[in-house]
Amino acid sequence: MDGFVIAVDRGRYTCVRDGADPDAPTVTAMRARELGRKSVVVGDRVGLVGDVSGADGALARIVRIADRRSVLRRTADDDETTAEGRLERVVVANADQLVIVSALADPPPRTGFVDRCLVAAYDADIEPLLCLTKADLAGPEQVLDYYAELELPYVLIRPDADLAALRALLAGRVSVLVGHSGVGKSTLVNRLVPEADRAVGVVSAIGRGRHTSTSAVALRLPAGPGADGDPGWIVDTPGVRSFGLAHVSADSLLHGFPDLVEGTVDCPPNCPHTADEADCALDAWVAAGRADGRRLASYRRLLASRAGEPDPRAAEPDRTGEPGDPPARG
Ligand SMILES: Nc1nc2c(ncn2[C@@H]2O[C@H](COP(=O)(O)OP(=O)(O)OP(=O)(O)O)[C@@H](O)[C@H]2O)c(=O)[nH]1
Ligand SMILES: [Zn+2]
């Protein structure tokens, strides 16, 4: 029996069977010994044996994990020189899309956080989608201007408008939602999946909150009226407030900045692209107007952060989560 892992809690995996009716009971499973040390995460496609009835108290076993199409990772922090920084976690397997939820106001957009998510998305080979909430409070011009060179797909979310544009982008795919506290991610999840309360209830019944607050949960999107085909899945990541990037090499970090990549062709061999590297061609690239200087500054902040250098702006009082995360001001 093949299935899809939708929640993980203390050695128990909640799975849905492939092809099962959306209302069919979920299957609770444990890992079979033959899996060895391989981890099973939300989004994994697994082979199940044993009692797959989903009845109360039934316990199936996961005997196989399918090859992963993508692996979204994070580390606890950026610093590859510390044990905590090297502690790498797989957030979600087999995601197709990373939906970066950012408010346009209250709290103001944090392009540093978005840039960091873009690095994680490109590193994982997952398509990014910028989801700009609270569009009733502020316009998207500044944020879109910052990403002008990227052709980054985006949607605007306002409380009084339907979510058709977003639903169309979610259809048929597994999309991971990430965002800072207060950006309206929970509000959005509840609007997308009105039964999310029920789903959340199921998860809390197996102990969410007592265990790890960072565990991800996959929620099936409801079929729209008259819609055929698969409406898709969203994966909510309640505890993921930032993406430590210690697992991303300095080279891969650059792939999160496609607007800068071409600017490095004139760099000397093995150029670290840091601000103190006098011959780095990126400064000239920006000076020539080929990319936004704020993007170069953001890239270099991430480079410095990976090397364990403290960000001088992290100490500013109005910054609550993300070191070195400027609002998108011009
Ligand atoms: N004006 C406006 N307010 C919104 C919108 N979406 C959410 N809010 C409000 O923003 C606040 C935060 O929303 P949440 O959905 O709790 O945000 P969150 O990102 O889930 O944050 P946590 O609850 O900390 O995880 C709430 O007071 C919402 O009512 C929106 O589109 N426009
Ligand atoms: Zn360089």
More confident residue, 65 or 39: 65
- Extract long-range pairs of 282-288: CB within 8 Å, 24+ residues apart: 285/260
- Whether 86 and 229 map to the same domain: the answer is yes
Rounded Cα distance between 134 and 184, Å, is 8
- Whether 21 and 78 map to the same domain: the answer is no
ipTM: 0.96
With both helix axes pointing from N to C terminus, report the angle between 185-192 and 196-205 in degrees, rounded to the nearest 10: 110
- Within-domain flag for 84: yes
- Whether 166 and 81 map to the same domain: the answer is yes
- Estimate to the nearest angstrom the gap between the alpha carbon of 118 and the chain centroid: 9
- Whether 78 and 226 map to the same domain: the answer is yes
State which residues form the domain around 94. 71-236
Rounded Cα distance between 67 and 175, Å, is 18
- Within-domain flag for 155: yes
Q: Which of 236, 261, 288 is the last residue of a domain?
A: 236
In this structure, the residue with its CA closest to atom 17 of ligand 1 is: 184
Q: Distance between the two ends of the chain, CA-based, in angstroms? A: 54
What is the tens place of the pLDDT at every residue in 195-242? 765 344 344 444 443 333 457 899 999 987 656 788 999 999 876 666
What is the tens place of the pLDDT at every residue in 130-142? 999 999 999 999 9
- Whether 53 and 150 map to the same domain: the answer is no
What is the tens place of the pLDDT at every residue in 262-274? 999 999 999 999 9
- Whether 169 and 36 map to the same domain: the answer is no
Q: Which of 209, 236, 263 is the last residue of a domain?
A: 236
Centroid of ligand 2 to alpha carbon of 309 (angstroms): 19
Q: Does residue 29 have a pLDDT over 80? A: yes
- Within-domain flag for 241: no
- Within-domain flag for 326: no
Centroid of ligand 1 to alpha carbon of 107 (angstroms): 10
Cα dihedral 14→19→21→24 (10° resolution):
-30
| R_g of the chain, CA atoms, integer Å | 21
Number of domains observed in the structure of the chain = 3
Q: Which residue has the tokens 């409801």?
A: 222
Tell me, what CATH number does 121's domain have? 3.40.50.300
Q: Does residue 285 have a pLDDT over 50? A: yes
- Whether 88 and 208 map to the same domain: the answer is yes
- Whether 82 and 53 map to the same domain: the answer is no
Atom of ligand 1 nearest to the CA of 106: 10
Tell me, what CATH number does 43's domain have? 2.40.50.140
Atom of ligand 1 nearest to the CA of 186: 20
Q: Which residue has the tokens 């199936």?
A: 60
Centroid of ligand 2 to alpha carbon of 264 (angstroms): 5
What is the tens place of the pLDDT at every residue in 176-195? 999 888 899 989 998 999 87
Rounded Cα distance between 151 and 257, Å, is 12
What is the tens place of the pLDDT at every residue in 131-180? 999 999 999 999 999 998 888 999 999 998 999 999 999 999 999 999 88
Nearest ligand (C-alpha, residue 182): 1
Average pLDDT for residues 25-45, to the nearest whole number?
92
The answer to whether the Cα torsion of 284, 286, 290, 296 is positive or negative is: positive
- Within-domain flag for 243: no
- Whether 41 and 129 map to the same domain: the answer is no
Phi-psi region of 308 (alpha: psi -120 to 50; beta: other; left: phi over 0): left
Q: Where are the alpha helices (DSSP H) in the chain?
A: 83-86, 111-124, 141-146, 164-170, 185-192, 196-205, 250-255, 258-261, 282-287, 293-306
In this structure, the residue with its CA closest to atom 5 of ligand 1 is: 134
The pLDDT score that the predictor gives to residue 15 is 96
Atom of ligand 1 nearest to the CA of 179: 19
Peptide bond into 222 cis (omega under 30): no
- Whether 189 and 139 map to the same domain: the answer is yes
Q: Where are the alpha helices (DSSP H) in 53-163?
A: 83-86, 111-124, 141-146
- Within-domain flag for 242: no
Q: Which of 17, 43, 65 is the last residue of a domain?
A: 65
> From the CB of 183, is ligand 1 less than 6 Å away?
yes
- Whether 282 and 229 map to the same domain: the answer is no
Rounded Cα distance between 187 and 330, Å, is 29
User: Residue 91: which of 239, 289, 272 has the closest Cα?
Assistant: 239
- Within-domain flag for 45: yes
Q: Does residue 320 have a pLDDT over 80? A: no
Residue 307: phi and psi, rounded to 5, are -80, 5
- Whether 25 and 165 map to the same domain: the answer is no
- Within-domain flag for 181: yes
